[in-house]
Chains A and B, each alone.
Chain A
Amino acid sequence: MSGTLKPAVSDADHAVGPADAPITLVEYGDFQCAHCALAHHRITAIQERFGDRLRFVFRNFPLAEVHPEAFHAAEAAECVAAYAGSAAYWKMHDLLFEHQQDDLDALDDAHLAGYATEAGADAEQVSRALATDAFEEKVRTDFMSGVRSGVNGTPTFFINGVRHDGDWSTVATFAADLERAII
């Protein structure tokens, strides 16, 4: 409804691109959501096209009832960020979307630990974090911030803090909407 990002992007977020970029694109996404996997490809192209003019931020919005592995996937990504840093987080983020549809068990805990290793993190640390729900609070906080911001499904995008209700499924239309945000 309100469609305004709350809270604004801060150091607590996973961000790639300059903090003073004219466009900040925030995605609320779910690592088990097929639409989000499609959006991931579009965003990769958008990032190439916009370069330093774009800062991209990802926040967790796992719809756990329909995507039973989405919550653990989000926790695993948070764990990678906490222990192995931002570059590893983004690698993990990409791996999750790229492998999401590999098989029915592509996002089970064993695979999550495997992607974490590939991203440069410690698989055991991730397994332990999943077993102890160490990052549940962080994921839940992201989720509720999305609800407060008017997220209504996944993915939901915010361009410079305003919910984007337009079409993101083609690079051309998405890019045009992003360009319009600068004017």
Chain B
Amino acid sequence: MTATTNVLPAGSPAPAFSLPVTANQRVSLADFKGQTVILAFYPADWSPVCGDQMALYNELIGEFRKHGAVLLGASVDGPWCHGAFAEARKLHFPLLSDFEPKGAVARSYGAYRKEEGTSERALFVIDGTGTIRWSYKSPIGVNPGADGILEALESMNGAQP
């Protein structure tokens, strides 16, 4: 359940970022001040496991919203690639393009894989003050599901799981 070796652990300040989601639109962590943010790094658009993971989260946007949380996906793919991926999979949440300088935001969260040049499959729940409240790194080939995210959101809101 707890974060493994290198991703930023709960209690750390969430590094600020501002990344493109389309060719002419950017999203910053600061845009969501006062809101809970679920930041889901994944290795690449189109790879089967990522597709399933994002498809699952896509179904849960309403559930996340009940907890006052917004969902952001992030990978090193470019905005045009993200656009095609989001359209094909009918994704209804922003995909951030950590493309230039490549993986800089993933690196700042301790979620970059140098050998592959992609982000880890890493999840962060960030509260409205910009503090990481939960993080998790999944084995690269394993889809982490969403139960950990929901449990983290519930414990933040003081609700029973």
Residues of A in contact with B (beta carbons under 8 Å apart)? 1-2, 63-66, 143-144, 147-154, 165
User: CB distance A65 to B90 under 8 Å?
Assistant: yes
User: CB distance A153 to B147 under 8 Å?
Assistant: no
Query: Whole-angstrom distance from the CB of B145 to the nearest CB of chain A?
Result: 4
| Interface residue? B110 (CB, 8 A) | no
| Complex: A151 Cα to B143 Cα, angstroms | 9
Task: Count residues on chain B whose CB falls below 8 Å from chain A CBs.
Answer: 24
Residues of B contacting A152 with CB < 8 Å? 52-53, 56, 142-146
| Interface residue? B92 (CB, 8 A) | yes
Interface of A is mostly: loop
Residues of B contacting A63 with CB < 8 Å? 55-56, 59
| Complex: A73 Cα to B90 Cα, angstroms | 20
| Complex: A2 Cα to B144 Cα, angstroms | 9
Cβ-neighbour of B55 out of A1, A65, A144 (below 8 A): A65
Residues of B in contact with A (beta carbons under 8 Å apart)? 1, 49, 52-53, 55-56, 58-60, 63, 89-92, 136, 138, 142-148, 150
User: CB distance B59 to A150 under 8 Å?
Assistant: no
User: CB distance B92 to A65 under 8 Å?
Assistant: yes
Residues of B contacting A149 with CB < 8 Å? 147
User: CB distance B59 to A65 under 8 Å?
Assistant: yes
| Complex: A63 Cα to B145 Cα, angstroms | 13
User: CB distance B55 to A66 under 8 Å?
Assistant: yes
Cβ-neighbour of A151 out of B1, B92, B145 (below 8 A): B145
Residues of B contacting A1 with CB < 8 Å? 1, 136, 138, 144-145, 147-148
